[in-house]
Chain A
Amino acid sequence: MRLTRRTFLKVSGTVLAGSGLGVSLKPIYAHAKPLKIRYARETTTICPYCSVGCSIIISTASYGKVINTEGDPNSPINAGALCSKGSSLYQLSINNPNRLTKPRYRAPYESEWKEVSWEWALDRIARNVKKSRDESFRQTNGKGQTVNRTEGIASVGSAALDNEECYLYQKFLRGLGLVYIEHQARI
């Protein structure tokens, strides 16, 4: 039986009511049980939600699965503490079956997605970008001033990127000549 948190609460409620005591009578067994993270690899990360910058320890099993996430006690920012969102980081990575795992494509006038390969998707996007850029690129404006800009493509994003990715993304966009470049900081 796969337990969700909800069914776990229901089950444990029943068990506690049945035992009549509500406490475990096996403290020695509990003490001897090794922590599940004992053989895990620990890495640190910074929480992806708000901007406080809490440090979080990720425990990864040898088979590549995240088995625990918890606040990093050494961080002077959070000293081990996390909020409800930071505490649920465990459910954001590969443990979440809802994550997107393949590129998807919705063709014009279609009502459904279809899964496509990265190769196909990126080739087609590159082709679209080139067409939009070449059709809308202006070397001069109405006053005859040099502007060298692509007017037909816009971009929003992203404060969800790492610094190095933000840097690469703006380099990419400005290299293409975009001027409509915006993101979360404006809203």
Chain B
Amino acid sequence: MGSNPASNHPVSFKWIMKAVEKGGTLICVDPRFTQSAAKAHIYAPLRSGTDIAFLGGMIKYILDNNLIQEEYVKNYTNASFLVNPGFKLPGDNGGVFSGLKGEAYDKASWSYQTDAEGRIRKDETLRDSNCAYQLLKKHYSRYTPELVSSITGTPKEKLLEVYESYAKTGKPDKAGNILYAMGWTQHTVGTQNIRAMSIIQELLGNMGLAGGGVQALRGESNVQGSTDYGLLFHILPGYLGVPRASDTALAVYNEKRTPKTREPNSLNWWKNYPKYSASLLRSFYGTNATLDEAYSYLPKLDDGVDYSWLTLFDQMYKSRFTGFFAWGMNPAVSSANIFKVRKALTQLDWMVNVNLFDNETGEFWRAAGMDPKKIKTEVFMLPCAMSFEKEGSITNSGRLMQWRNKAVDPPGEARPDADIITDLYFRLKELYETEGGPLKEAITKLTWNYGEAVVEGRLLHVDIRAVAKEINGCFLTDKLDQASKREFKKGDPVPAFAFLQDDGSTSSGNWLYCNSFADKGNMAARRGTKDPSGIGLYPEWAWSWPVNRRIIYNGASVDLQGKPWDPKRAVIAWDGTKWVGDVPDGVGNPGSGRPPFIMKPDGVASIFGPGLADGPFPEHYEPLESPLARNLMSPQMNNPVIRRWDKPGVGTEMDIARSADTLFPIVCTTMRVSEHWQSGVMTRWQPWLVEMEPALFVEMSPQLAREKGIKNGDQIFIKSARGQAEAVAMVTERVKPFLIDGKTVHQIALPWHFGWATSATRAYGARDKKPEIFTFGNAANRLTPTIGDANTMIPESKAFMVNIFRKGVA
């Protein structure tokens, strides 16, 4: 669900087919009959944006038929925790949870009952009406197959077929796995889509097992790494929080972010937070500043303010920035509501665009409707090296960090990104040293010792391995580690994050990667192909964070005695004296009672999840733009805590939404094809790929095509409240109308990889041959709305409303 791996992560599908050969059952749930669906044992259609209804029905089915893995649920989840009696479910509270105040929840009632010592009260029998298990049961009792089918458009018998098949994985020695992608995240309820499936995996005891889990199929080769390294407004490397203005000193910051627990057996791994924050500050400023000074240099966010993608472009539109870096990104195609984004770019004084090829962001001033003579923005387009024209590591969807070697030099004057960043850094450092400026120390005191190629104080070429070593971390002074009684000398690499210190004696650029480049060298470059586990762990192939653990949460793959739930596919096992198998995750010795989810303060997985902005259980709400005038589940139409950019005084005149509007009666989703990638910058220039997928097309059902007088291959227009795009009609039986609340609802889908920057218009050298073939078609994000998920602010690009017309008709 929420992904199409056969098309978009094709090599992952190789292993899915291996599992099928071994007797596994493949289920595909998707609005379209995709290439993945074509190989599935069971295919179930659903309307875009209704996954929580679908999965809520599955939770009800599992609980009604008592198909849970009981020992797992009782010991490894918070099912037994007693919740505050003041907590109210949406079914008893007008479709929202208790505590809604305006556009945010006051979560006071989402808390646990505690005893005199502050410990959480529990009912191990799971019978108390206030325990998380009973609340879950009550909440999803509303998700009957009839109601779910009416919302999702999935035939009732298909729902039950999927539920019955998947629930079989609740047996201790069976595992079920879910692969999701943007089909789940790009919704106003994106986080809760994933939560709903996580709850199912907890009920069925599928987390931590070989072949279990909830897998995010990430879209970019290193989007896992770039997230690990904190290229987002709210996180620093290693998922440490970016300081807020009220975090007035390092001690305050650490105190607020280090979780505490009264649960006696819980390990609460994040108690080590101050060690990781101190080591990170050292990686910025080394010993050029004290820890407190280094902390004060870090930029702080205002409390309660969002600085994420949609806000960024809204602020740019409102002329709040003079400068902008679009480094290895093409937001003029990839952002939701791109007409707004392109207009925002005209408000800048300058923009730096670093890329391999021409792209719509660098050339936004040539977009349809733009007059370059009226656009002030100074644009720099800098050519960079591609993946094998430099060396470095990337981290895949499975946290596996693999090394890339350099094969050739980049073409012409193109340079590795690290060299461009470094060159710019040294020029700025010189400017601040000679001319001064506000808080210049934050820049001039950064450590930047990455190699020998220093000329007149400037580093000309970065030794990437020196950076990798700084990330791993080292001792800055001689130190006796108290926990292990091991002695380290100044300059020694830190062997693993358990040795990091909170007193400034260690430096590490990302605690999760500590151990990747220590005394054994560059672990990411390893190519060992042994698999002693027999389940495909390959522990000597490259390196995975944390500490080369291949299956995270594997402490939950064994029972309380350390015996694997599934002995045929053991991930770890207790041999009487020690753990064998994968690097064990958080488990104490059998009998210690330590719960296995050590990154949670209370040590267990969350059936009840009070940490999220929009409720401790997932609840179905309609997408911002829906074909329905009301939510069939409750009186509350949309997620009540999303930020509405279309309201007066919030966004701009370009942030428009039209729901249940006869002008836009068709549900639309964006999607991808195998031959293109993301905004198309790295695929629209290769003739082989272009020949296979040259143009924007729209998949639609024969029924819709008949209604609209459209034939397969016709040129059509797709219109939304934001804009229109031109495309080729692909009329196919793979798309079917849905029956929603007794009425026919159509859905269409279009890929989003296209734009005007193609080889057709490129100025070639005298000896270069003009290409015979090139892509054409508009960017699908002309149509998508400005609206984000309540927790992540990821835009809702997978469910919005449009209309279509044959060209010449409208």
Give per-residue flags for A93-125: 1 if the beta carbon is below 8 A from chain B beta carbons, else 0.
Answer: 110111111111111111101000010011111
Interface string of B745-787 (1 = CB under 8 A from A): 0000000000000010010110011001100000000000000
B277, CB-defined interface residue at 8 Å: no
Contact with A along B504-529 (1 / 0, CB 8 A): 00000110010000000000000101
**A37 within 8 Å of B by Cβ?**
no
> In this complex, what residue of A is CB-closest to B361?
A156
In the complex, residue of chain A having the shortest beta-carbon distance to the beta carbon of B384: A100
Question: How many pairs, one residue from A and one from B, have CB atoms within 8 Å of each other in the complex?
Answer: 487
Nearest opposing residue in chain B for A164, CB measure: B467
Q: Residues of A contacting B221 with CB < 8 Å?
A: 46-51, 53, 159-160
Interface bits B234-274 vs A (CB < 8 Å: 1, else 0): 00110000100110100000000000000000000000000
A65 and B408 form a contact (CB under 8 A): yes
Nearest to B524 among chain A residues (CB) is A163
Q: Which residue of chain B has the shortest Cβ distance to A135 in the bound complex?
A: B322
CB-CB under 8 A for A118 and B415, given A2-B769, A45-B405, A180-B307: yes
**Residues of A contacting B328 with CB < 8 Å?**
157-161
User: A182 touching B309 by the CB < 8 A rule?
Assistant: yes
Q: CB-CB < 8 A to A123: which residues of B?
A: 427
B794 lies within 8 A of chain A by Cβ = yes
Q: Which of A51, A76, A108 contacts B220 (CB 8 A)?
A: A51
Within 8 A of A (CB), among B331-358: 331, 334-336, 349-350, 352, 354-358
Q: Is B471 an interface residue (CB 8 A)?
A: yes
> A residues within 8 A CB of B297?
148, 175
Cβ–Cβ contact A118 & B413, under 8 A: yes
Give CA–CA (A5, B691) in the complex, Å: 10
B86 sits at the interface (CB 8 A) = no
* Whole-angstrom CA separation of A48 from B427 in the bound complex: 30
Q: Is the CB of A44 within 8 A of B691?
A: no
**Which of B4-12, B39-47, B554-562, B650-658 lies at the interface with chain A?**
B4-12
Q: DSSP majority for the A interface?
A: mixed
- What interface size band does chain B fall in? 35 or more
- Residues in B whose Cβ lies below 8 Å from that of A51: 9, 217-224, 396-397
Known contacts A49-B682, A109-B372; is-contact A158 B231 (Cβ 8 Å): yes
Contacts of B242 in A (CB 8 A): 179
Interface set, chain B 372-397, CB cutoff 8 A to A = 372-383, 386-397
Distance, CA A178 to CA B324, complexed state (A) = 11
Asked whether A121 lies within 8 Å of B380 as measured between CB atoms, the reply is yes
Contacts of A12 in B (CB 8 A): none
- Nearest CB on A from B486, distance (A): 27
B383–A158 CB distance below 8 A: no
Question: Which residue of A88, A104, A163, A175 is within 8 Å of B686 (Cβ)?
Answer: A88
The interface centre, meaning the residue of A94, A102, A154 with most chain B CB atoms within 10 A of its CB, is A154
User: B226–A158 contact, CB under 8 A?
Assistant: yes
The reply to whether B356 and A185 contact each other, CB–CB distance below 8 Å, is no
Once A103-B413, A145-B248 are accepted as A-B contacts, the answer to whether A109 and B375 lie under 8 Å apart by CB is yes
Instruction: Assess whether A174 is in contact with B299, with CB atoms less than 8 Å apart.
Output: yes
CB distance from B646 to the nearest CB of A (A): 19
In the bound complex, CA of A92 to CA of B439 (Å): 42
B248 close to A100 (CB less than 8 A): no
On whether the beta carbons of A170 and B237 are closer than 8 Å, the reply is yes
Contact (Cβ within 8 A) B299 A148: yes
B109 CB within 8 Å of chain A? no
Q: Which chain B residues lie closer than 8 Å to A173 at the CB level?
A: 325
Nearest chain-A residue to B325 (Cβ)?
A155
User: For residue A109, which residue of chain B has the nearest CB?
Assistant: B373
Of B114-122, B162-170, B418-426, B600-608, the one touching chain A: B418-426
The answer to whether A25 has its CB under 8 Å from any CB of chain B is: no
Q: Which chain B residues lie closer than 8 Å to A50 at the CB level?
A: 8-9, 217-221, 677
Contact A156 B11, beta carbon cutoff 8 Å: no
Partner of B685, one of A96, A127, A168: A96
Chain B stretch 615-635: residues in CB contact (< 8 A) with chain A: none
A160 to B29, CA, bound (A): 30
CB nearest to A6 among chain B residues: B772
Interchain CB contact under 8 A, B392 and A156:
no
Q: Does any Cβ of B come within 8 Å of A186's Cβ?
A: yes
Is A169 in contact with B11, judged by CB distance below 8 angstroms? no
Q: Which residues of A contact B538 (CB under 8 A)?
A: 76
A94 to B315, CA, bound (A): 38
Residues A113 and B375 in contact in the complex (CB < 8 Å), given A165-B417, A182-B312: no
A122, B423: Cβ atoms closer than 8 Å: yes
Q: Which residues of B contact A83 (CB under 8 A)?
A: 10-11, 674
- Whether B245 and A145, one on each chain, are in contact in the complex, defined by CB atoms closer than 8 angstroms, is yes
Q: Shortest distance in angstroms between A182's beta carbon and chain B's nearest beta carbon?
A: 5
A108 to B388, CA, bound (A): 35
Question: Which residue of the partner chain A has the closest CB to B469?
Answer: A164
Q: Tell me how far the C-beta of A168 lies from the nearest C-beta in chain B, rounded to whole angstroms.
A: 5
Interchain CB contact under 8 A, A179 and B301: yes
Nearest chain B residue, comparing its CB with the CB of A138: B438
Chain B contacts of A169 at CB under 8 A? 231, 327, 417, 421
Interface residue from A87, A148, A155, A161 paired with B439 (Cβ < 8 Å): A148
- Judge whether B398 is part of the interface by a CB distance below 8 angstroms: yes
Instruction: Tell me if A176 and B428 are in contact (CB < 8 A).
Output: yes
- Are A125's CB and B421's CB within 8 A? no
Would you call A84 and B299 a contact (CB within 8 A)?
A: no
Contacts of A130 in B (CB 8 A): 428, 431-432, 435, 437
A84 to chain B, nearest CB (A): 5
Output the least CB separation between B280 and chain A (Å).
10
Q: Are A129 and B323 in contact (CB under 8 A)?
A: yes
Using Cβ atoms and an 8 Å threshold, which residues of chain B touch A145? 245-246, 248, 300
For window 712-729 of B, CB contacts with A under 8 Å fall at none
CA distance A45 to B787 in the complex (A): 38
Can you spell out 8 A-B residue pairs with CB atoms less than 8 angstroms apart?
A51-B396, A74-B527, A84-B689, A98-B685, A98-B759, A108-B375, A130-B435, A163-B401
- Starting from the known contacts A91-B687, A154-B323, 19 additional A-B residue pairs (CB-CB under 8 Å) come to A45-B387, A45-B404, A60-B407, A77-B400, A78-B14, A82-B11, A94-B408, A101-B414, A111-B373, A122-B420, A126-B428, A159-B227, A160-B222, A161-B327, A165-B392, A168-B418, A177-B442, A179-B307, A185-B231
